[in-house]
Structure 1
Amino acid sequence: MRIPINLASQPFRRDRAMLVASIAVSILLCGTLAFMISLARADNAQLADLRHEVSRLNAEKRKVTAEQLQLDAVLRKPQNAEVLEQSVFLNTLLLRKGISWTRIFADLEKVVPYNVRVIQIRPSVNAQDQVSLDMLVGADSMTPVIDFFKALQGNSMFSYSDVKVLQPPSQADPFYKCRVSVDYAQRL
């Protein structure tokens, strides 16, 4: 017969499994902490590189802005004003020259009815490099002119037509005349 005797002042507790699990979780948490610290350091290094790049780009921007101001000051001098005006004039001429009359007439040929006459066309270019056409058209009656407006609105090359003047026929001129402005989709 066996008699269990415990000579300790406190009874024996079975905490070994709990202690091993706690140590394992502690090691896992320490590993996670080390991983998070390394990620934070890498992020800080990357952030420092990014800040350095931003400061370099800002310095470059300041340098380019200073150069631009210096060049603008040279251009604004009174002795250079005539050359600047001539340059602007030539650029405007080149821009207007970039409008293709052949394309304008080819596109108008698709929408103008046979009994409508295009009397005058004046292309212009706005600040956004969009071409608009100011046209004077004429016909024997109003019906072909209305058909012309409908054809303009139905074509993708022409948008927003604005009828400015409508003249009835006179003794000297037997045509109904209409001045119209349209935006033209030709790219420069």
Structure 2
Amino acid sequence: MKISVNLATRPFVELRPLYARLRLAMVLLVALAVGLGFALHVLDAKSSVAEAQMNALKAKTTQFEHERQTNEARMRQPANMAVLERSRFLNQLFAEKSFSWTAVMMDLERVLPAGVQVTSIDPVITKEGDVNIRLRVSGERDRAVQLVRNLETSQRFLSPRLSGETALTPSAGQGGPMAAPGGVVFEIMSGYNPLPEKTASATNVARKSGGVR
């Protein structure tokens, strides 16, 4: 009979599978570190390019600002002030000439309720080329309110708002019209979207064709 004697003080543990797993994990970590390092390098290169573009834009902006200040200083000289004022006057004149009264009246006819009269139209053209219109209308209050609602739904009149309301008073004997009961005078401020060039051209052609007929 054989008797096996184990003289080890601790049980035997197979470590080779554990070492294999550790080696695999180390390889994966190294691959991940290499990938992250490459991605960081790419991002750093992109950041350098973006920073260079930003510096170039800042340099151009500084150059243009310097040129603008130089030109403004030159135009403020006494010899050039007359030219500047004349340029402003001509630009304002051209802007006023480009305003189409016919188009405004046609647009108002579409939104004007019966019984409401337009007593004055005062267009104001801003430096940016936007057109604002101050309307003064008179008539019964409910119909004047309906006019404001119609303006709000129109594509030509932008952000209309009441700037004043006055009750009509009899003016007989002073050359003015008799005021109807409940009549008011409204002052309305509104932006105006002019007709596009194509639409205006088509309108002019249609009118000329109608005149020939």
TM range (shorter): 0.7 to 0.9
Q: Matched residues, percent identical?
A: 25
Would you say the 8 A contact 2:120–2:137 is kept in 1? Answer: yes
Q: Cα RMSD over matched residues?
A: 3.0
Runs of at least 4 residues off by over 6 Å = 5-11
Residue 48 of structure 2 is aligned to residue 48 of structure 1: yes
Give 1:42's aligned amino acid. Answer: V
The alpha carbon displacement at 1:125 in A equals: 2.5
Deviates more, 1:94-103 or 1:152-161: 152-161
Query: SS of the counterpart of 2:124?
Result: strand
Residue 176 of structure 2 is aligned to residue 173 of structure 1: yes
Give 2:190's aligned amino acid. Answer: D
State the match for 2:205 in structure 1. none
The alpha carbon displacement at 1:22 in A equals: 1.0
Gaps spanning 5+ residues in structure 1: where?
none
Provide TM-score, normalisation by structure 1: 0.79
Q: 1:30 to 1:77 in 2, by over 3 A?
A: same
The alpha carbon displacement at 1:64 in A equals: 1.2
The alpha carbon displacement at 1:8 in A equals: 8.7
State the match for 2:211 in structure 1. none
The alpha carbon displacement at 1:164 in A equals: 5.2
Query: SS of the counterpart of 2:123?
Result: strand
Q: 2:144 aligns with which of 140, 148, 167?
A: 148
* C-alpha distance in 1 between matches for 2:39 and 2:137: 73
* C-alpha distance in 2 between matches for 1:59 and 1:4: 89
Q: 1:185 aligns with which of 192, 196, 212?
A: 192
* C-alpha distance in 2 between matches for 1:58 and 1:82: 34
Query: SS of the counterpart of 1:169?
Result: coil
The alpha carbon displacement at 1:182 in A equals: 2.5
Give 2:107's aligned amino acid. Answer: D
Q: 1:114 to 1:22 in 2, by over 3 A?
A: closer
* C-alpha distance in 2 between matches for 1:99 and 1:58: 39
Deviates more, 1:89-98 or 1:159-168: 159-168
